[in-house]
Amino acid sequence: MWFVKTFASLLLITTCSCLLAQSNTESELAALMKKMLLFIKSERTALVAGKTPKKTSVNFEGIVTAKPTEGKKLLPNHAEQSVKLIQTIKAYQFSNNLSDKKLQFNLVINTCLDCHKQVCPGPIEAIEKNLLQLNGQ
């Protein structure tokens, strides 16, 4: 059994170095991604509390050009998918109505996941658990 676990973790390490990034070697893109995850978490807390936050200091636009970890290959359509994310975040921020904002929030998360399923599965669980249950909650 142990070797299955070892193999699985080796596989995870080789398919995605994302979770192993050390602060001194952290790429521009990885640093930005971490900020985005923090943003997502704090927005979620606010939404659950019934607030509709507007401002953020995260430079989402940077995801199109930020340099990835050395040796990390981006998707051929990385720019296109990044622009899609930026658009969903703008729509989310533009929205004032709480239930609409929750809907837009989940679209943001799903756009994160669309890319991560293809290029970097490591953080999927951490991203996915922020999805809001829409009906009733």
Considering the complex, what minimum distance in angstroms separates the CB of residue 94 from ligand HEC?
Answer: 16
In which region does residue 85 sit, left (phi positive, over 0), alpha (psi from -120 to 50) or beta (all else)? Answer: alpha
Tokens matching residue 47: 């939404």
Torsion, CA 96, CA 55, CA 118, CA 24, rounded to 10: -170
- Identified binder of ligand HEC from the candidate list 12, 27, 62, 95, rule CB under 6 A: 27
Cβ(16)–Cβ(122) below 8 Å:
yes
Q: Quick one: which of 43, 93, 101, 115 contacts ligand HEC (CB under 6 A)?
A: 115
> How many CA atoms lie within 13 Å of 92's alpha carbon, on the beta-carbon side?
25
Q: Which helix (H) or strand (E) segment is 104 a member of?
A: helix 98-119
Tell me the window of 2-10, 45-53, 98-106, 119-127 that interacts with ligand HEC (CB under 6 A): 119-127
Residue 124: CB atoms within 10 Å = 15
| From candidates 58, 119, 131, 132, binder to ligand HEC by CB under 6 A | 119
Task: Return the residue of 91, 95, 121, 123 that touches ligand HEC, per CB under 6 A.
Answer: 123
Q: Which residue has the tokens 């990034």?
A: 21
Q: How many residues bind ligand HEC (CB under 6 A)?
A: 29
Residues numbered 58 to 87 that lie near ligand HEC (CB under 6 A) are 68-69, 72, 74, 78, 81-82, 85
Contact positions vs ligand HEC (CB under 6 A): 18-19, 21, 27, 29-30, 33-34, 36-37, 40, 68-69, 72, 74, 78, 81-82, 85, 108, 111-112, 115-116, 119-120, 123, 126-127
